Chain A
Amino acid sequence: MISDLFSLTVLVGILSSGIRLATPYLFVSIGETFSQLSGVLNLGVEGQMLLSAFAAFYVAINTGNLWLGLLTAMIVGALMGLAMAFVTVNLHAQQGISGIGFYMFGLGMSNLLFQRMVGTVETVQGFPTIDIPLLSKIPIFGNIFFSQNILVYLAFLLVPVAWFVLNKTTLGLKIRAVGENPESADSLGISVSSIRYFTIILGGTLSGLGGASLSIALLNVFQQNLTAGLGFIAVALVYFGGWRPWGVLAGALLFSMVNALQLWIQVLGIPIAAEFAVMMPYILTIVVLVLSVSKVRTPSALTKPFKREG
């Protein structure tokens, strides 16, 4: 019963699932960090995830090639990103609403294709666990951190890479400049449109990876509304993390650990209303948003379309 929760095996299990479940949040939130820093709120990531999750799943069950599935998912995500970029950058559409459009498109389309092309519940042999030599042999830590599938490693690797690109490269500087003050960036010869196209498409590609990580690495199934709001949380995590990759990592782990805990509570049959456990991270996110709003600065041009004068 409750005491079961505190046995070593269960704790290791919870932490290990928590690390694994952070994967989709990380991919999507890091991508969203890039687009938000350049001034674009992409609320459509949930739709991008759904459609690419289906694409990865479909290619994987039909070709048996997981890498091909992953690639397809990235392409689908990138294409949806391209469409979002066109609508946002060229047509100045209101981002909060166009994002909902992309969400609904992805939700409907993924289910349509799934029912039409697959129809029944099928599982796919997802990415296998890779034990990192030596490291995975460390007691406890090895099981938690170094016995995961390839996408988990990639997602965690993405955090320092994103930090480096955003803080230590000219590209990162340009992205921030475009999100803070597009007019000055423009006058310095930075193409606001190209930077935003780049970040939104990058975000789409990473959302594609995030979707694929669900359908061919973590859950290994596809079903209607597979993501169940995960993409929206990923957007909130960017605010939560204060537009910093390490902050996003902290938020992603918070959500995934609580999810893991709740899964294990169900597995062990502990009579606690899991709903309240699941609710906690949402409430906590709101609280963090309230507390951090005065400390962390939102990119000034976020959600504002750039119109060149003249």
Chain B
Amino acid sequence: MKSRLNAILDALLPLFATLAALIVGAIMLIILDVNPIVAYGALLEGAFGNTNALAETLVKATPLLLVGLGICIAYRGNVINLGGEGQMIVGALLGTFVGLSISGLPGWVIITISMVSGTLAGAFWGVIPGVLKAYFNVNEILTTVMMNAIAVQLMSFFLTGPMIDPAQAEMTSLIPQTARLDEALRLPRLVPTRLHLGALIAVILAVLVYILLWRTTIGYRIRAVGQNPFAAKYAGIKVNRYIVLALLLSGAFAGLAGVIQVYGVNYRMITDGSATGFTGNAGFNGIVAALFGQLHPLLTIPASILFGSLLVGANTMQRVVQVPSSLIIALNGLVVIFVVSSEIWREKRQHKRLIVIKNEDNGELQSDENAQDSVEKMP
């Protein structure tokens, strides 16, 4: 009975965190002389008010879910991937390049080739920090951030140079964007809205990631390395290999998110010169969604929809009550802070639970706890 209550409390922690963030947001709105009820009302209306709004929410949720799935894998393997932005960018760059240069094949074949190449590009962008962490002991937080900056410069180079839209090259405006993809190369739409096939792909992948993490040896090993690298090594797992794999998969999903953004939404790669100009901050918001979904691929689906709705609703809010949509970025930041801060209560309860379980002699959890103890005692 008590353990069920604990489980419910654990599951609700992210919701409390969001609620707290929204309350802080309401206070800020009041300070800015805006009625928070009107503002949040506009936000809800904009996110769910009609079919189009709902479709837009799902369109925004798609890259968050894809990036978030990669984050689930990486963080379960205890590697922090902050490189989603860069991985999306290189994925989209290669994916777009392929789509623009191949012709004479059926549309779906080209789309598939583009998606695979974009995914590989993202994976490559993840492998570099992975190898550096696994074999050279270089902190992946730093390298993934550096790789973001390098990707932005690559994007800027290609979109204002070799891959620039010929129309822009002729004019003097020189907006950094590629030519438009052929109509045959657009991802099919699911209903008469902007909702595209990419959303469905993302959901299917979420199920696959769940199976990967909890139903396969590879997934088990990634999680084992994440929980306790020393114990994993002792158990004969090649820890380094799984660190690289976790970052590779994480990058692959972000890369795919980048291609899908091009083939499903914009039909060309376009930016304002910054990373956010192309990604819409999805590389970071995907982290928020995954954390909110407790690093569980299936829970990341509703989490992505929630944050997608906030992003879409924020635009309506901006129109109706003239509150800049960046309020939502600030609130997302607060959600992250609150979620990671609230972990301490989960841990405390888990600690208590473990003591209880120990007495009842539950094998798996107990061995976890023992393994952790032995690591802490290591010199």
> Which stretch in A96-104, A162-170, A212-220 binds the other chain?
A96-104
Whether a CB of chain A sits under 8 angstroms from the CB of B274 is yes
Are B334 and A101 interface neighbours, CB within 8 A?
Answer: yes
**CB under 8 Å from chain B, chain A span 86-121:** 87, 91-94, 96-98, 100-109, 111-112, 115-116
Smallest CB-CB separation from B85: which chain A residue?
Answer: A229
Cross-chain contact of A286 among B143, B154, B276, B327 (Cβ < 8 A): B143
Whether a CB of chain B sits under 8 angstroms from the CB of A6 is no
Whether a CB of chain B sits under 8 angstroms from the CB of A273 is yes
Question: B372 contacts which chain A residues (CB < 8 A)?
Answer: none
Question: B288 contacts which chain A residues (CB < 8 A)?
Answer: 104
Whether a CB of chain A sits under 8 angstroms from the CB of B156 is yes
Are B146 and A282 interface neighbours, CB within 8 A?
Answer: yes
Give the distance in Å from the alpha carbon of A276 to the alpha carbon of B347 in the complex: 46
Cross-chain contact of A104 among B80, B284, B341 (Cβ < 8 A): B284
> Which stretch in A14-22, A133-141, A153-161, A231-239 binds the other chain?
A231-239
Question: B92 contacts which chain A residues (CB < 8 A)?
Answer: none
Are B329 and A97 interface neighbours, CB within 8 A?
Answer: no
Whether a CB of chain A sits under 8 angstroms from the CB of B225 is no
Cross-chain contact of A100 among B150, B336, B344 (Cβ < 8 A): B336
Are A235 and B142 interface neighbours, CB within 8 A?
Answer: yes
Give the distance in Å from the alpha carbon of A92 to the alpha carbon of B342 in the complex: 9
Give the distance in Å from the alpha carbon of A115 to the alpha carbon of B322 in the complex: 10
Interface residues as binary, B3-38 with A (CB distance below 8 Å gives 1, 0 otherwise): 000000000000000000000000010001000000
**CB under 8 Å from chain B, chain A span 182-209:** none
Are B143 and A93 interface neighbours, CB within 8 A?
Answer: no
Cross-chain contact of B141 among A47, A96, A115, A285 (Cβ < 8 A): A96
Are A97 and B287 interface neighbours, CB within 8 A?
Answer: yes
Are B324 and A279 interface neighbours, CB within 8 A?
Answer: no
Whether a CB of chain A sits under 8 angstroms from the CB of B337 is yes
In the assembled complex, the CB of B36 is this many whole angstroms from the nearest CB of chain A, namely 14
**CB under 8 Å from chain A, chain B span 142-184:** 142-143, 145-146, 148-150, 152-154, 156-157, 161
Are B150 and A108 interface neighbours, CB within 8 A?
Answer: no
Are A112 and B337 interface neighbours, CB within 8 A?
Answer: no
Whether a CB of chain B sits under 8 angstroms from the CB of A124 is no
Whether a CB of chain B sits under 8 angstroms from the CB of A123 is no
Are A236 and B337 interface neighbours, CB within 8 A?
Answer: no
- Given A97-B80, A283-B150, the answer on whether A112 and B323 have CB atoms closer than 8 Å is yes
Are A101 and B145 interface neighbours, CB within 8 A?
Answer: no
Q: How large is the interface on B (under 10, 10 to 19, 20 to 34, 35 or more residues)?
A: 35 or more
Interface residues as binary, A7-43 with B (CB distance below 8 Å gives 1, 0 otherwise): 0000000000000000000000000000000000101
Interface residues as binary, B123-151 with A (CB distance below 8 Å gives 1, 0 otherwise): 00000000010001111011101101110
Question: B152 contacts which chain A residues (CB < 8 A)?
Answer: 229
- Given A111-B326, A282-B146, A289-B138, the answer on whether A103 and B340 have CB atoms closer than 8 Å is no
Are A290 and B336 interface neighbours, CB within 8 A?
Answer: no
Question: A282 contacts which chain B residues (CB < 8 A)?
Answer: 146, 149-150, 153
Are A92 and B344 interface neighbours, CB within 8 A?
Answer: yes
Smallest CB-CB separation from B137: which chain A residue?
Answer: A293
In the assembled complex, the CB of B133 is this many whole angstroms from the nearest CB of chain A, namely 10
**Is the contact region of chain B dominated by helix, strand, or loop, or is it mixed?**
helix
Are A107 and B333 interface neighbours, CB within 8 A?
Answer: yes
Give the distance in Å from the alpha carbon of A211 to the alpha carbon of B234 in the complex: 47
Whether a CB of chain A sits under 8 angstroms from the CB of B43 is no
In the assembled complex, the CB of B113 is this many whole angstroms from the nearest CB of chain A, namely 27
Give the distance in Å from the alpha carbon of A107 to the alpha carbon of B327 in the complex: 9
Whether a CB of chain A sits under 8 angstroms from the CB of B315 is no
In the assembled complex, the CB of A102 is this many whole angstroms from the nearest CB of chain B, namely 7
Question: A111 contacts which chain B residues (CB < 8 A)?
Answer: 324, 326, 329
Give the distance in Å from the alpha carbon of A129 to the alpha carbon of B154 in the complex: 36
Are B324 and A105 interface neighbours, CB within 8 A?
Answer: no
Question: B335 contacts which chain A residues (CB < 8 A)?
Answer: 101
Question: A290 contacts which chain B residues (CB < 8 A)?
Answer: 132, 136, 138
In the assembled complex, the CB of A171 is this many whole angstroms from the nearest CB of chain B, namely 26
Question: B153 contacts which chain A residues (CB < 8 A)?
Answer: 275-276, 278-279, 282
Are B138 and A225 interface neighbours, CB within 8 A?
Answer: no
Whether a CB of chain A sits under 8 angstroms from the CB of B120 is no
Whether a CB of chain A sits under 8 angstroms from the CB of B330 is yes
In the assembled complex, the CB of B311 is this many whole angstroms from the nearest CB of chain A, namely 12
Question: B337 contacts which chain A residues (CB < 8 A)?
Answer: 83, 87, 93, 98, 101-102, 105
Question: B284 contacts which chain A residues (CB < 8 A)?
Answer: 100, 103-104
Whether a CB of chain A sits under 8 angstroms from the CB of B371 is no
Are A96 and B138 interface neighbours, CB within 8 A?
Answer: no
Whether a CB of chain B sits under 8 angstroms from the CB of A224 is yes
Whether a CB of chain B sits under 8 angstroms from the CB of A150 is no
Are A104 and B336 interface neighbours, CB within 8 A?
Answer: yes
In the assembled complex, the CB of A52 is this many whole angstroms from the nearest CB of chain B, namely 15
In the assembled complex, the CB of A281 is this many whole angstroms from the nearest CB of chain B, namely 9
- Given A104-B284, A276-B153, A282-B146, the answer on whether A98 and B340 have CB atoms closer than 8 Å is yes
Are B330 and A108 interface neighbours, CB within 8 A?
Answer: yes
Question: B256 contacts which chain A residues (CB < 8 A)?
Answer: none
Question: A91 contacts which chain B residues (CB < 8 A)?
Answer: 341-344
Question: A94 contacts which chain B residues (CB < 8 A)?
Answer: 340, 343
Question: A106 contacts which chain B residues (CB < 8 A)?
Answer: 333
In the assembled complex, the CB of B167 is this many whole angstroms from the nearest CB of chain A, namely 21
Cross-chain contact of A289 among B142, B157, B330, B343 (Cβ < 8 A): B142
Question: A224 contacts which chain B residues (CB < 8 A)?
Answer: 326
Whether a CB of chain B sits under 8 angstroms from the CB of A228 is yes
Q: What are 25 pairs between A and B in contact, CB < 8 Å?
A: A91-B343, A93-B340, A98-B337, A100-B82, A100-B284, A104-B336, A105-B334, A107-B326, A108-B328, A108-B330, A109-B333, A111-B326, A112-B327, A224-B326, A229-B148, A236-B142, A275-B154, A276-B157, A279-B149, A279-B154, A282-B150, A286-B132, A289-B132, A289-B138, A290-B138
A116-B324, A279-B149, A293-B137 known, 14 other contacts, Cβ within 8 Å: A43-B82, A47-B333, A92-B343, A92-B347, A93-B341, A94-B340, A100-B82, A101-B340, A104-B333, A105-B330, A107-B329, A111-B324, A115-B326, A293-B136
Return the 4 tightest CB-CB contacts between A and B, nearest first.
Answer: A108-B329, A108-B330, A104-B333, A101-B336
